[in-house]
Amino acid sequence: MPIPTANFILHELDESLAAQLRHAAFEPGHAFHATRSTSECLSLAERLHADVVFCNAEPRRYLALLTELKKRGLRLPVVVVSRIPEVSEWLDALDAGAADYCAAPFEHQHMFWLIASALLASQHAHV
């Protein structure tokens, strides 16, 4: 069962990590857009009706984004992306309000599941 096409924002990811994620998450019709600031990310997310934001695992970066999303009342899933799988980082990201956490190396099947899960959760968001 294919994932519907979607717009993804790659927020403050270095080019190498972004390329790995694009490769693993690739499906025909998916679009990936890089942003370098929280304001640019939010503006693009609203303009494109983005489906998921993949955000750098640096806490100050994802916390700023999650705070602004909450202030604006936007229910956009944020997946925190890291090079290193750390349980404490994963738990901190989820506690802060992230939809999920993933670490390189990325696998296509895992990305397929993660994206489908985030898209489903955003359609059925609850308080």
Q: Output the pLDDT for position 126.
A: 38
Residues of the chain with pLDDT under 70: 1-4, 124-127
Distance of alpha carbon 21 from alpha carbon 114, whole angstroms: 12
pTM to 2 decimal places: 0.91
Domains of the chain: which residue ranges?
7-123
pLDDT, tens digit (0-9, with 9 covering 90-100), for 97-122: 999 999 999 999 999 999 988 888 77
pLDDT of residue 118: 84
How far is residue 120's CA from residue 71's CA, in Å, rounded to a whole number? 22
* Residue 83 DSSP label: S
**Superfamily name and number for 7-123:** Response regulator (3.40.50.2300)
Please report, for residues 32, 57, 72, 77, 99, the alpha-carbon distance to residue 65 in angstroms, rounded to integers and kept in the order given. 18, 11, 11, 11, 13
